[in-house]
Amino acid sequence: AFDLAVLASVVVTGRARGRLVPLLARVARHVRPGGEVLAGMPLTPTAGEDAWSAADYDRACAGAALAYVVRYADWSGAPYHLGEPYAVSVHRVR
């Protein structure tokens, strides 16, 4: 098992609504308990990608036994504020 899994936005936004929970659960099976799953994604649709809301993504993570830890506005760790167009979300494997 790994300590961390990092998901590119296309892995998340490219999934149909009903397919994200099973994908996240498969990823979580490869991360040790207490390890984390990071995913960066647009929160508003872009020319090349669809978007999930942060709340919808959090619900999918909860369905895959991943607990919310923190969210950043970008990969450099800038603070996230409601309404940001992009997020890097950190969830912990239970």
71-81 pLDDT per residue, tens: 999 999 999 99
Beta pairing partners, 75: none
CA distance 88 to 76: 9
Q: Which domain holds residue 71?
A: 2-93
CA distance 58 to 25: 13
Using a cut of 0.85, tell me whether the model's pTM lies above it: yes
Q: What is the CATH number of the domain that holds 69?
A: 3.40.50.150
Digit-by-digit pLDDT tens for the chain (94 residues) are 999 999 988 888 877 778 999 999 999 999 999 999 999 999 988 777 778 899 999 999 999 999 999 999 999 999 999 999 999 999 999 9
Domain count, the chain: 1
